[in-house]
Structure 1
Amino acid sequence: MSDPMPIDGRASGQGRVFQTGGDQYIEEHHHHYGAGTGPGTGSLLAPQPVGPRPPQGATAPDSVRVPLVARVPGILRDRADLMERLRAAVTGPGGDVHVLHGLGGCGKTAVAHTLFTEAVRDRGRVGLWVNASERISLRAGMLAVAGDRGATTGELAAAASGQRAAADLVWHYLDHSAQRWLLVLDNADDPTVLEEGGWLRTSPLGTVLVTTRHATSPLWRGAGAARHPVGVLPEADAAQVLCDLAPDAGTVESAQKVARRLGCLPLALTLAGSHLSHQLLESWSMDEYDRKLSEDSTALVDQGAASTGSGQSRHLVGRTWQLSLDALAGQGLPEATTLLRLLSCWAADPVPLSLLMPVARGEVDFGHLDPPLAADRVEPALRGLLDHSLIGMVEADGRRCVQAHGVLLDSVAAGVPEERREPLAEAAGRLLGAALPPEDAAPVETRTELRLLAPHASRLLHGSPSEWAARLAVRVVEQLFTAGDFAVALSMSLAVADEAERLLGDEHPVTLSARHIMGRTQHRMGRYTESETTLREVLRSRERILGADHPDTLRTCAVLHVPVAILGQVEEAVHLLRRAITGQRRVLGEDSGETLFSRAWLLEVLPRLGDSEEFDEEARVVEDCERALPPGHLATLMAHHNHAEGLRVLGRYVEAEPVARRALTERIRFQGPDHPQTLAALNLKARVAHGLGKLDEAVAALREVIERRERVLGPEHPFVTQNRQSLAEWQAEARAQP
């Protein structure tokens, strides 16, 4: 081939002349921003594209001027303070970034939509809405924003093909917009999508609002963003959401019950209300819906998605959390799924971090879970769940805890594969059992911890019914009783006893243990007839199944005397105690704590028979307890207390006074000032003072007893009623004195 003929040419202005020999492919793009107004002025000659080409399928959204969201709330409930702060930002000088963060389904997009609508309608702002959930939709949406603000077709084509810096192009046109604007970046749950392309910036002409589940990304700090947590609704507002959507389904009170069961989560409320308002074949009331929720809350709530046209994963309660877990797994944290599944075995109440410490320290091995949870992965997994708003950090009774939403836990638990449920439940049970205080721990030190652990033991039994879970729950109730938290112990014991009976049968030893502690809590809460009935049934069953001399049988025999004596059958109460003591001496030994405890009880009931001589003889149990038991043992505390009570009943007030003072001091030291038995000792001190004629001291002490018993036992407890009656009588005595 001969050499090509030379070509002479001249260019002027922004023209170009190219000369080549052979076949060449040349692309040329021109971008005109004006002098000094943007990057890359002039032309860019690129024989090959600059940088990586964008993913295929990055088509522009149908609109960036209209929020493309599945559901628009008719009325935005609550959120008044948050909306005021955001309105001020939109009407201010601009240049701000605001981040709405919180659990999926909490209504972040609803807040953004309301602000967007107001900004366009009332403030004259240009509203721009971009789906930032993934790279493709973000890039396409932001380029559409640039087109809306004036970018030419050629500029957009170059940016779309990777030959222009796309983010620079977009922000150039935002910075030179003829109108002020509000830009919403919705569902930015993976902040790296914004970070990698430099998409998150500020401009003096507008305000950026981001919605995300990721609460703690360094990107928010780097952008100087103001962060706003978005949580669940207050109960009254949550109920009103249901009434807004289904006004004919029931009363506000019924709506409150449904809202409470759904944890006041806006997503769940919206789906539930839509379901109630669009039924054809059935027409459930709020109360009927509440009953149905107890069977399968997640599946039932998600049926409402069909009524809203929002069946995609992000708008289904049963799937929305999986998006965050998938993202965490993609970031190298598959253990976050295991940890959240572990939390789903427990209740939606605060979970003390101390429960997870044995795993983090390597004291227990959870390598058999799937995915495995190794010691050095607990902290990163926790951090990942926190960052994605799947759990939150809370403080409960001075303990650092984590907490997840109840609907989230229900849906996570429902999604655990069948073959993985038992290993998870057993792991949760091991951790819960290890966290329980030692049996001999002082009640004053255990009450708070036990109250935090109690709901998790109940949930574990309900969600993973088994003999070991029932034993664990009974153990928790027994410790709650010892700690003096009688109201919580009673509520839990009723549920545990019923579940144990359903699971194991009414004569299984675990069921009988549950009924035994239930009977004890019943009499402590003033339900004496119920207590007597319960304990008599347990005693008959234990006699038949275990035998008359089994320690459990003797324990029930001794405890039964309490409601029997209170109901006026004092002679039978003494008989029950003597029978128990005889058996315990033979089976457990003279110095057994249980034997001494039963003997100490005798000091309370013998004086009611008027037998002062036998009382003095049995009072030797005080010395026996001090000799055989460690300081602070409950039998010793009971012996001192009942010795003083017996002396008072016998009218020996001078002898009773120093013993009563000692009993009160010991109760405060070992059981705490608000333990019900400490308050009983304070009540005893007041009655001894009254017997000695010290009316002012007696009245002052009894007033304190009433105030504290109302707080601990409730204003309707029989002890409180008796105290009020005594106070009125003593005050009348004091007024009658000369």
Structure 2
Amino acid sequence: MSGARTPVGTTGRGAARQAVTIHFAGFNRAWAAWIGDRLERRGLRVVYLRWDSPADVPLVDLLRDLELAEGRILIVVSEWYFQLGPRTQEEWNTALREVVAPDPSRFAAVSVTTASVPAATAVLAPVDLTNMGAEEAERRLLDRLDLPFEPQPDTPDGARRGPRFPAAMPEVWGGVPRRNTRFTGRESLLNDAYHLLQGAEPGAGVVTLHGMSGVGKTQTAAEYVYRFGSEYDVVWWVNAEKRVTYRRLLAELAPKLGLQTGQEYGERLRSVRDSLRRGDPYGRWLLILDGADEPDQIWDLVPTGPGHVIITSRNPEWTEHNSKLLEVPVYARDESVAFIRRRAPRLSEGEADQLADALEDLPLLLDQTARWLNDSDLSVRQYIALLDGGIDSDVVKVSADFPLAFQTAWSILLNKLRETVPESVDLLRLCTFFAPGFIPVRLLREMSSDELPEQLAGLLNDPLLWNKAINQLRQYSVVRLESHEAVGDEGAGSGESLYLHRMVHQIVHKDMPDADRKEFIDVVRLALAAADPRRPTDPDLWPGYAEIVPHLKYADVLQTQEPTVQRLVFNCLRYMYFSGEYVAGIKLGERAMKAWRELLGPTHPRIWELTYHYTNLLRAVGDYAATEALSRAAAEHLKAERGPQDLEHLRAAAGLAADLRGLGRYDEALELSQWVLVAYRDLLGDQDSRSLNSLNNLAVSLRLLGRYPEALEHDRRTMESRRLLLRARHPWTLGSEISYAIDLRLLGRYAEAESIQAKNVREIRLVMGRDNPQTLKAEHNLALCRYRLGERDRGRDRGAEREEPGELLSSVLERGERVLGETHPLTLIFATAQSCYAREHGDIDRARELSEAVVARYEVMLGDEHPFVAGARANQALILRNVGEREAGHVLLEQALAAMTDAVGEHHPWTLGCALNASALRNIVGDTESAAELSHDTVGRAVETLGRTHPLTLSARIAHAADLRGLRDRRQAEKVEQEALSDLDATLGSKHPHTVSARSRNRPYWDFEPQVI
């Protein structure tokens, strides 16, 4: 046959360009795309013809139809090409001899497999392209088509790069499941997904494969990767069932992309998203988010950019988040039949059809049933009778989503597993006490054999028995061996990472004897406890907690009195508090409170420790009324039972002080904070971390009372001691730096504050990640420091890299709303600052929208008498003034001034600020004498409280000068104004916006700024 070769161009078709039709099985699309690209680069016209082999059409007729294709016909030979149908090797041999042999010049072939193929394939004279590099494969391809081989130049920058050589992996590859060599059908679905992604605008390439459990969404996504992955430089697969897991796994992409980041996954996550968004260093990337059933949990973290995202989900709500939806239905009947016959060759086409009908064409169930049915002597008719009759009366309805056939079929399969390798059932049942999906079974194998019951010790300690059980489960498609990282043969052999489908998980969990249930769940609980990193305040260890947390619910860790397991619960709650996972932490805390009060009793010591962690999380989201009741009950009980000097009582009292601060009862909070600090120092000394925490809390109380110099001194001492006792980058040390910088700013020492805060932001981003609440707090303070310094517009005398105040404020608010929610206390602080900034920069509609929302939320959360409500209303009054509603603004501001005075006293800086604004509004509505009287009193109180040169005092002095001019007391007005301007020059500088504005006789105003509690 080799002597009968004909060059591509001699087919006599008369086309403008020589044509080649590439005929391939969908499974081998990557090869077809690479071959076509190589030919098109040499000026040939390529037609792609995917091989379809409907069983009801004779194979000879299908091959004869192929002769109608354009030009030379190049067949991509693989076992998949011959399995479609499926057809027997005898059919293929007959068809090839009848159709190809008489006209060999029309056909050519390349082989991309080492598997056996029909003997008559020799008539195609396929050239082997396996086990070689791209250049040699291309040379062989061209030689087979009688084309000259001339190396092609490198693709110029900016030009579209062609598909990668299929035998070469993308430059970055991770987490992708092994290819399912039994994958069947889904051709139109895969092509639809491909065209949707390729046709999407940059940043909009997101497709969600949606469908019920067990329908094959994950397998379809994996097949997409293998068919089209050669067109990408980066392919990264992540388990997206839980936000914490998704964040960690996406962050693991950072080093693969060559990004220089710290070890903390929050910083890595930010770098990864920025890199993907820019397309630097790779623009052709594909990210697969598997099992993303809760869009609200992760939609904000889905990367955008020039690459593509595929999501698998049972939830169709992804359409609300800029994703195109493709439904993955159950198999079409011909797909079911083809799959069953490939999985169970002994079954006839009719039997396969009967089985598919009984199993409702559900791919997962077909996969798990067909293989063992092929190995058994049970007929399809007998098996269907078992399905119809049920195995026993204990078969339960697991979920409305699961067909009844699935549950019955699973009972049959479990019996089969018990008969062959009973240990595989033990392993499977153990896995159901972890969350479905990726099961960290390595935690089980790392346990001491002393902690294992005899039934499981042999399985977990005997590598041969372990591998036998694993292989049995793999054989029947019960588990997969893939993990979130690419696993080599060694990792797979050790069974480090198993994947268990949620349907299998639920039905196995239900079908378990009570004795096994109790024994197995204890083992998993102890395994999780043994994996506890034990330092929840250390960001470097947060990935360990992120891995453990999803499994707590399934191991039912709240129903045991085992101390190590209860300690794990406390540490997970603490991790959630420090990492900002407040909602998940509160849910766990609520469940723990209910469970442990029943299990241990309402006054058990563990209840008071749980109360501490739970109230921390509730307090973080602003539920101060609830936390005050819990903290007070704990403090009173512990004081009565153990005495006032008990450490647990002191901790509860410290929490109560924080609750009082949240409720605006600052004097009470200060008194309690002072007492707690003295008690801790008496018991533990000055340098114990608990004493330093109390010193920090005392500073917070002083700051809220407007006693800024005292707060500064306490925060300085706390910061310096924490640097010595802990480390410079410990979260508590970094938190002290933020507090110290805030104090400096509130005292008007803007340059010092900015210097410290800028350094702190750089470090806190590395340690905590960009979206951690502490990072947001730091960036917010940095923005205010720069704003108070007078920085307004980018450029001028500073570098382009320096983040400007407006940019920072907008970014912090956007992330606060997204990560924490719109009603979180920090988000409301950020919204307040953004509103004031928008008002001063002409975006009055945005300012009003934000201000009205802040006022309404504070009123609901805190009540009318809270100082934050008064302050927010004072800000709102300035907006009303700007939009011309002067009388309404005046009335609102007078109410705010009276409420603020009642709440914190007339000498508090917040009251002085309200008074400064109220004097201006009195002037506007014509009450000049009252305005001058108020501004005069304000200056006196400001000098007494803050000093002559504090920025708020200087603003009050400038305002008083304006009021004196309104009374026509020009001489006194001039004197007051000149003295104030001189102090402004000396304090802020002659070019500072406040100084320039004062010289232009623009009346100053004050913005209320809520503080953290």
TM range (shorter): 0.5 to 0.7
Question: For residues 588 and 559 of structure 1, do their structure 2 counterparts lie closer, same or farther at Cα, with a shift above 3 Å needed?
Answer: same
Q: What is the match of residue 755 of structure 2?
A: 658
Structure-1 separation of matches of 2:570 and 2:544? 16
1:577 matches 2:673: yes
Q: What is the match of residue 340 of structure 1?
A: 428
Structure-2 separation of matches of 1:488 and 1:213? 36
| Cα deviation digits, residues 382-424 of structure 1 (max 9, x gap) | 4433442323456669999544344543443344333333332
How far off its partner does 1:557 sit?
1.9
Structure-2 separation of matches of 1:211 and 1:415? 17
Task: Please tell me whether the aligned partners of residues 393 and 403 of structure 1 are also in contact (alpha carbons under 8 angstroms).
Answer: yes
Q: Which of 545, 553, 560 matches 1:450?
A: 545
Q: What is the match of residue 579 of structure 2?
A: 483
Structure-2 separation of matches of 1:449 and 1:128? 44
Structure-1 separation of matches of 2:536 and 2:830? 32
Q: What is the match of residue 715 of structure 1?
A: 822
Paired letter, 2:551: H
Task: Please tell me whether the aligned partners of residues 349 and 455 of structure 1 are also in contact (alpha carbons under 8 angstroms).
Answer: no
Question: For residues 606 and 216 of structure 1, do their structure 2 counterparts lie closer, same or farther at Cα, with a shift above 3 Å needed?
Answer: farther
Q: What is the match of residue 389 of structure 1?
A: 477
Task: Please tell me whether the aligned partners of residues 355 and 432 of structure 1 are also in contact (alpha carbons under 8 angstroms).
Answer: yes
Task: Please tell me whether the aligned partners of residues 539 and 556 of structure 1 are also in contact (alpha carbons under 8 angstroms).
Answer: yes
Task: Please tell me whether the aligned partners of residues 536 and 575 of structure 2 are also in contact (alpha carbons under 8 angstroms).
Answer: no
How far off its partner does 1:548 sit?
2.6
Paired letter, 2:734: L
Aligned residue runs from structure 1 range 252-291, under 5 A: none
| Cα deviation digits, residues 219-265 of structure 1 (max 9, x gap) | 99xxxxxxxxxxxxxxxxxxxxxxxxxxxxxxxxxxxxxxxxxxxxx
Q: What is the match of residue 596 of structure 2?
A: 500
How far off its partner does 1:677 sit?
0.8
Task: Please tell me whether the aligned partners of residues 537 and 575 of structure 2 are also in contact (alpha carbons under 8 angstroms).
Answer: no
Question: For residues 499 and 639 of structure 1, do their structure 2 counterparts lie closer, same or farther at Cα, with a shift above 3 Å needed?
Answer: same
Aligned residue runs from structure 1 range 125-144, under 5 A: none
Paired letter, 1:453: I
| Cα deviation digits, residues 289-331 of structure 1 (max 9, x gap) | xxxxxxx9973559999xx9x8xxxx362x5434334434444
1:366 matches 2:584: no
Q: What is the match of residue 624 of structure 1?
A: 721
Q: Which of 521, 526, 535 matches 2:622?
A: 526
2:553 match: secondary structure:
helix
1:623 match: secondary structure:
helix
Question: For residues 545 and 349 of structure 1, do their structure 2 counterparts lie closer, same or farther at Cα, with a shift above 3 Å needed?
Answer: farther
Aligned residue runs from structure 1 range 15-30, under 5 A: none
| Cα deviation digits, residues 412-455 of structure 1 (max 9, x gap) | 33443333333322210121112222316632x34444233223
How far off its partner does 1:381 sit?
3.1
Q: What is the match of residue 694 of structure 2?
A: 598
Structure-2 separation of matches of 1:424 and 1:553? 38
Structure-2 separation of matches of 1:128 and 1:436? 48
Task: Please tell me whether the aligned partners of residues 597 and 639 of structure 1 are also in contact (alpha carbons under 8 angstroms).
Answer: no
Cα RMSD, aligned residues only: 4.7
Number of aligned residues:
500
Question: For residues 320 and 573 of structure 1, do their structure 2 counterparts lie closer, same or farther at Cα, with a shift above 3 Å needed?
Answer: farther
Structure-1 separation of matches of 2:435 and 2:751? 52
Structure-2 separation of matches of 1:210 and 1:507? 49
Structure-2 separation of matches of 1:448 and 1:130? 41
Structure-1 separation of matches of 2:686 and 2:331? 76
| Cα deviation digits, residues 188-221 of structure 1 (max 9, x gap) | 9xxxxxxxxxxxxxxxxxxxx997435998999x
How far off its partner does 1:602 sit?
2.5
Task: Please tell me whether the aligned partners of residues 369 and 476 of structure 2 are also in contact (alpha carbons under 8 angstroms).
Answer: yes
How far off its partner does 1:524 sit?
1.2
| Cα deviation digits, residues 79-113 of structure 1 (max 9, x gap) | xxxxxx998644666552575799x99479x9999
Structure-2 separation of matches of 1:354 and 1:607? 49
Structure-2 separation of matches of 1:514 and 1:398? 39
Structure-2 separation of matches of 1:665 and 1:651? 23
Structure-2 separation of matches of 1:659 and 1:641? 8
Deviates more, 1:584-593 or 1:210-219: 210-219
Question: For residues 731 and 493 of structure 1, do their structure 2 counterparts lie closer, same or farther at Cα, with a shift above 3 Å needed?
Answer: same
Structure-1 separation of matches of 2:370 and 2:749? 68
Structure-2 separation of matches of 1:698 and 1:215? 63
2:671 match: secondary structure:
helix
Aligned residue runs from structure 1 range 51-200, under 5 A: 89-90=54-55, 96=84, 99=182, 106=214, 115=333, 184=353, 186=355
1:634 matches 2:722: no
Unaligned runs of 5+ in 2: 1-49, 60-82, 87-181, 186-211, 217-327, 358-362, 375-383, 488-495, 794-803, 843-881, 883-992, 998-1013
Percent identity reads 22
Task: Output the TM-score relative to the length of structure 2.
Answer: 0.43
| Cα deviation digits, residues 36-65 of structure 1 (max 9, x gap) | xxxxxxxxxxxxxxxxxxxxxxxxxxxxxx
Task: Please tell me whether the aligned partners of residues 215 and 387 of structure 1 are also in contact (alpha carbons under 8 angstroms).
Answer: no
Structure-1 separation of matches of 2:772 and 2:805? 20
2:455 match: secondary structure:
coil
Q: What is the match of residue 685 of structure 1?
A: 782
Question: For residues 352 and 682 of structure 1, do their structure 2 counterparts lie closer, same or farther at Cα, with a shift above 3 Å needed?
Answer: farther
Structure-2 separation of matches of 1:105 and 1:701? 43
1:733 matches 2:840: yes
Runs of 4+ in 1 over 6 A off after TM superposition: 85-88, 110-113, 127-134, 215-220, 302-305, 397-400
Task: Please tell me whether the aligned partners of residues 97 and 210 of structure 1 are also in contact (alpha carbons under 8 angstroms).
Answer: no
Q: What is the match of residue 768 of structure 2?
A: 671
Question: For residues 484 and 417 of structure 1, do their structure 2 counterparts lie closer, same or farther at Cα, with a shift above 3 Å needed?
Answer: same
Deviates more, 1:580-589 or 1:368-377: 368-377
Q: What is the match of residue 63 of structure 2?
A: none
Q: What is the match of residue 323 of structure 1?
A: 412
| Cα deviation digits, residues 643-682 of structure 1 (max 9, x gap) | 1122223333233222222332332232222211111111
Q: Which of 504, 515, 518 matches 1:419?
A: 515
Structure-2 separation of matches of 1:401 and 1:386? 13
Structure-2 separation of matches of 1:394 and 1:674? 30
Q: Which of 656, 661, 670 matches 1:565?
A: 661
Deviates more, 1:389-398 or 1:579-588: 389-398
1:430 matches 2:526: yes
